[in-house]
Amino acid sequence: MARQSISFTEPNDKWLNEQVDNQEYSSKSEVVNDLIRQARNQQIEIDWIKAKLEKAEKSGFTNDSKEQILAQAKSLNE
């Protein structure tokens, strides 16, 4: 595992410490890694939405229902 040295603002450091103190996480590193994982997953969803929008703009209209579109979006999280 790569080691990094990073600095936090006081409010962010306080929040990180609270997460560890509340036993949500065992260390600040664990909190930061979880936040990065969440951001990466969020970026995957954003990229998927962008791709769907670009495809829709180029193709015109879709025959998919809003329920089908929602189901497709939710399947990304599985």
pLDDT at 26: 96
At 16-51, the pLDDT tens digits run: 999 999 999 999 999 999 999 999 999 999 999 999
Phi first, then psi: give them for residue 38, nearest 5 degrees: -60, -45
Q: How many CB atoms lie within 10 A of CB 78?
A: 4
Higher pLDDT, 60 or 28: 28
Give the residue extent of every domain in the chain: 10-75
pLDDT at 72: 84
pLDDT at 78: 66
Q: What percent of the chain is predicted at pLDDT more than 70?
A: 97
pTM of structure:
0.65
